[in-house]
Structure 1
Amino acid sequence: MSDEVDNFSIEHDRSGQQFLLRDGDKQIGEINYLAFGEDGKERILYHTGVNKEYEGRGLAGRLAKAALDDTVAEGLTVVPVCPYVRSYLKRHAEYAGHSTPVRPEHLDVVPEEYREQ
């Protein structure tokens, strides 16, 4: 049993369209997204990042789970442009009915550096 205290938290920054991973007061990761569609019913998750010194602790998975759970709870559909999110979805069947394949029009709105397919 570990005595280590877990100071990690995840905050949804709606105005910045991102989920922020924090270690206490320090931001150590994020998932960026864009609302898409006339009705905004699709959420394009296009980038997941965790600071290098925090890699290998399962924090990207915690961040992905929080972003996906929030998206589903809001009745939105996930568009997994981010390779990490696509990989996470393949391992977690509970989200199977809540995502849609990436289409060219999704990629058109994503910042260029994150458009790899």
Structure 2
Amino acid sequence: MSEIHDVRHEQQETRGRFVIDLDNGAEAELTYSRAGATKWIADHTGVPDAYAGRGIAGQLARALVREARAAGVKIVPLCPYVAAWFRKHPEEADLVA
């Protein structure tokens, strides 16, 4: 079972990211760009190799989905990981722009 991590959501005017702080200053992130008021373009997911296979990227994707729902925005899954995540979770497909 994968360890549950706290996910921090950092937002700027045109961009945002979801971040998990890992050991020794390392971090995992999922970044997005804002496309107007109704869409977020998920463009990158990165997890350090030492943390691969622990479900960390999935936790970031779930945080993205949760926050997008709360904000009333759709997601453009430009990032290959996010696109694959949505294919594995068709119950969330209504969020895909």
Question: How does the TM-score come out when normalised to structure 2?
Answer: 0.86
**Does residue 22 in structure 1 map to residue 27 in structure 2?**
no
Indicate the RMSD between aligned Cα atoms, in angstroms. 2.0
Q: CA deviation at 1:95?
A: 1.1
Q: Which runs of 5+ in 2 are unaligned?
A: none
Question: How does the TM-score come out when normalised to structure 1?
Answer: 0.72
Match of 1:46 in 2: 43
Q: CA deviation at 1:25?
A: 7.8
Q: How many residues align?
A: 94
CA distance in 2, matches of 1:54, 1:44: 25
Match of 1:82 in 2: 79
Q: Measured at CA, do residues 27 and 74 of structure 1 come closer, stay the same or move farther in structure 2, by a change above 3 Å?
A: farther
Match of 1:73 in 2: 70
Structure 1 runs (4+) deviating above 2 angstroms are 23-27
CA distance in 1, matches of 2:47, 2:70: 24
Report if the CA contact (8 A) 2:22-2:28 is conserved: no
**Does residue 33 in structure 1 map to residue 32 in structure 2?**
yes
Which of 1 and 2 has greater Rg? Answer: 1
Q: CA deviation at 1:64?
A: 0.7
CA distance in 2, matches of 1:73, 1:85: 18
CA distance in 1, matches of 2:90, 2:10: 26
Q: Measured at CA, do residues 7 and 22 of structure 1 come closer, stay the same or move farther in structure 2, by a change above 3 Å?
A: farther
Deviations 1:32-78 (A, max 9, x none): 101103xx210000000001111110111111111111111210000
Task: Name the % identity.
Answer: 32
Of structures 1 and 2, the one with the larger relative CO (CA 8 A, separation 6+) is: 2
